[in-house]
Amino acid sequence: MSKLIITGGKQLEGTITVSGAKNAVLPIIAASLLCAEPIRLEDAPDLLDVNIMNQVISALGAKVVRKGSTLEIQASSIDCIEAPYELVSQMRASIVTMGPVLARQGHVRISHPGGCAIGSRPINWHLKGLEALGADVRMDHGFLDVTAKELKGARIYLDYPSVGATENIMMAAVLAQGTTLIENAAQEPEIVDLATFINEMGGKVRGAGTSIIHIEGVQELHGTTHTVIPDRIEAGSYMLMAAATGGNVLVQNVIADHLKPLIAKMEESGIDISEEGDGIRVIGDGNYTAVDIKTQVHPGFPTDLQAPFMAFLTRAKGTGLITETVFENRFMHVDELKRMRAEIKIEGRSAVVQGIQRLNGAPVTATDLRAGAALILAALTAEGTSEIRGIQHIDRGYEKVEEKLSRIGGNIIRSE
Ligand code: EPZ
């Protein structure tokens, strides 16, 4: 079982480069199924989840070749309408292949994705949207069997601005007859990148990034080359690690506008943040004031940075209150941080974090992707050495993590 061995205490110094966004490239790879012509995706991060999505679309009939950080994809035809159970069960984000396969073939079968560590993760709003477009949804021995003789544009109001539901509905609507309106749509930057990609293929999506998205159906799409936006969650995780170690780091390849909530909270806590070219410089002096955060849909504070921010708060003076409103079970990193002597108390959907002088290194286990990032941050600041297990979770979303952190002074090695 491979693990990361980290000895804390070093201030991170230097430049760290952010990869393309996992949560943008996953739906974009799925959207490639809408088009029969060649697609090139630049800045596609080489991550476990991306490799699984590539396997899913290959199983459906697409050709996928990775050349460094470029993916060359061509779905000239979709020969299979069933996404393989063993792949979908590994990565629930595969569910966003439902919309494009339905749009292209009129039929899709995909196993109902289970929950995961952070929550039950239902897909009721995905299915409600597809039914509004004219699809018929049946459960068949654990598989969703979705058919649509013809998809017709509709006006769809989302009970909650779900990222995945917005993506699935948007992709299903691209080739539908007529116009679709998604109201109360998710506004995350990754939704905007997906819409940009669809429009580059000749689709007609307007309003992405706002709560009302307008999709005019077209007959067919053409090939294109698209550069994936930088990963704001990877960037934010490294910004917090730089601050927590009292370092001076330029986090390069960042769109500052995507990180406004984090930057505001880090500045409120007393960290020196400045934009520098296409990056953000973080200078920490180790004297931070605890602040409160509440996770919200975009443009609120992102739930994916909740765990790393909690680990950072263990280093701030005073008490910080963290409220998680997006997922029902996203505090599993608390027990692991407490093994490192963190003082955290969970009260319902909130956690009260008491800053302390220094954490202690310890053997800990990552329970999910962002909990893993929180444990890396904690270990980099702790006194002594930590061993982090469960790093397959970290490899899902942080490309070459030990390489990138070692390059800026982190004392971190991967041991098989
Ligand atoms: C996306 O998940 C991201 N994943 C998540 O990132 C991110 O945390 C989340 O959006 C919120 O920003 C990818 O993009 C691959 P949702 P998604 O649908 O689409 C409930 C990471 O660490 N819900 O906005 O699944 C759901 O259970 C991952 O990179 C329903 O009840 O998020 C959750 O409580 C973790 N019914 C809330 O809504 C539905 O039909 C938000 O889910 C859909 C969602």
pLDDT digits (tens, 9 = 90+) for 352-370: 999 998 999 999 999 999 9
Q: Which domain holds residue 391?
A: 3-19+230-415
Q: Which of 227, 257, 277 is the last residue of a domain?
A: 227
Task: Report whether pLDDT(69) > 90.
Answer: yes
Q: Which of 210, 227, 244 is the last residue of a domain?
A: 227
Confidence of residue 143 (pLDDT cuts 50, 70, 90): very high
Q: How many angstroms is it from 353 CA to the middle of ligand 1?
A: 25
The reply to whether 39 and 142 lie within a common domain is yes
Q: Which pLDDT belongs to residue 416?
A: 82
The response to whether residue 238 sits with its C-beta less than 6 Å from ligand 1 reads no
More confident residue, 118 or 51: 51
Mean pLDDT of 116-141: 92
The reply to whether 35 and 144 lie within a common domain is yes
Q: Any alpha helices (H) in 281-410, and if so which ranges?
A: 306-313, 333-338, 369-381, 391-394, 401-406
Q: Which pLDDT belongs to residue 196?
A: 98
| 400 beta partners | none
The reply to whether 138 and 266 lie within a common domain is no
The reply to whether 210 and 137 lie within a common domain is yes
Q: How many angstroms is it from 302 CA to the middle of ligand 1?
A: 11
Torsion of CA 55, 61, 67, 71, to 10 degrees: -90
The response to whether residue 126 sits with its C-beta less than 6 Å from ligand 1 reads yes
Task: Report whether pLDDT(296) > 80.
Answer: yes
CA distances from 131 to 95, 135, 146, 148, 405 (A): 15, 4, 9, 9, 46
Mean pLDDT of 106-132: 90
Mutual angle of helices 306-313 and 369-381, in 10-degree steps: 20
397 CB contacts (<8 Å, ≥6 apart)?
22, 47, 49, 231, 233, 234, 369, 370, 373
**DSSP E strand boundaries for 284-395:** 293-294, 319-323, 343-347, 350-354, 363-365, 385-389
Domains held by the chain: number: 2
The reply to whether 265 and 131 lie within a common domain is no
The reply to whether 62 and 9 lie within a common domain is no
Q: How many angstroms is it from 76 CA to the middle of ligand 1?
A: 30
Residue 298 is part of a domain; what is its CATH number?
Answer: 3.65.10.10
The reply to whether 218 and 301 lie within a common domain is no
Confidence of residue 1 (pLDDT cuts 50, 70, 90): confident
Q: Is 116 a catalytic residue?
A: yes
Q: How many angstroms is it from 163 CA to the middle of ligand 1?
A: 6
The rounded distance, in Å, linking the Cα atoms of 408 and 406 is 5
User: 128 labelled as ligand-binding?
Assistant: no
Q: Which pLDDT belongs to residue 118?
A: 84
Task: Report whether pLDDT(306) > 90.
Answer: yes
The ligand 1 atom nearest the CA atom of 368:
22
Q: Which pLDDT belongs to residue 96?
A: 98
Confidence of residue 380 (pLDDT cuts 50, 70, 90): very high
Q: Which pLDDT belongs to residue 113?
A: 82
The reply to whether 11 and 27 lie within a common domain is no
The ligand 1 atom nearest the CA atom of 23:
14
The response to whether residue 128 sits with its C-beta less than 6 Å from ligand 1 reads no
The ligand 1 atom nearest the CA atom of 119:
27
The rounded distance, in Å, linking the Cα atoms of 49 and 87 is 10
Burial (Cβ within 10 Å: 0-12, 13-18, ≥19) of residue 299: middle
Confidence of residue 53 (pLDDT cuts 50, 70, 90): very high
Q: What is the DSSP letter of 7?
A: E
Lowest-pLDDT choice from 183-187, 213-217, 232-236, 412-416? 412-416
The ligand 1 atom nearest the CA atom of 123:
40
Burial 318-335 (b: 16+ CB within 10 A, else e): eebebbbbbbeebbbbbe
Among 112, 124, 126, 160, say which to mutate for ligand 1: greatest number of ligand atoms within 8 Å of CB.
160
The response to whether residue 215 sits with its C-beta less than 6 Å from ligand 1 reads no
Confidence of residue 217 (pLDDT cuts 50, 70, 90): very high
Q: How many angstroms is it from 27 CA to the middle of ligand 1?
A: 13
The reply to whether 312 and 385 lie within a common domain is yes
- CA 345, 351, 357, 363 dihedral sign is positive
Task: Report whether pLDDT(412) > 80.
Answer: yes
The rounded distance, in Å, linking the Cα atoms of 295 and 111 is 30
The reply to whether 47 and 28 lie within a common domain is yes
* 243-259 confidence digits (pLDDT tens): 999 999 999 999 999 99
The reply to whether 235 and 164 lie within a common domain is no
Mean pLDDT of 278-307: 97
Mean pLDDT of 379-392: 97
User: 326 labelled as ligand-binding?
Assistant: yes
The reply to whether 306 and 387 lie within a common domain is yes
Count of all residues that appear for the chain in the document: 416
The response to whether residue 327 sits with its C-beta less than 6 Å from ligand 1 reads yes
The rounded distance, in Å, linking the Cα atoms of 91 and 20 is 19
Confidence of residue 16 (pLDDT cuts 50, 70, 90): very high
Q: Which pLDDT belongs to residue 186?
A: 98
Q: Which pLDDT belongs to residue 117?
A: 78
Q: Whose CA is nearest to atom 6 of ligand 1?
A: 304
* 174-185 confidence digits (pLDDT tens): 999 999 999 999
The response to whether residue 265 sits with its C-beta less than 6 Å from ligand 1 reads no
What percent of the chain has a predicted confidence (pLDDT) above 90? 96
Task: Report whether pLDDT(102) > 90.
Answer: yes
The ligand 1 atom nearest the CA atom of 328:
34
Provide the 3-class DSSP secondary structure of residue 297: coil
Query: H-helix or E-strand containing 64?
Result: strand 63-67
Burial (Cβ within 10 Å: 0-12, 13-18, ≥19) of residue 124: exposed
Q: Which of 227, 249, 283 is the last residue of a domain?
A: 227
Select which of 69, 72, 89, 116 is catalytic: 116
Task: Report whether pLDDT(6) > 90.
Answer: yes
User: 414 labelled as ligand-binding?
Assistant: no
Q: Count of CB atoms within 10 A of residue 37's CB? A: 15
Query: What is the overall mean pLDDT for the chain?
Result: 97
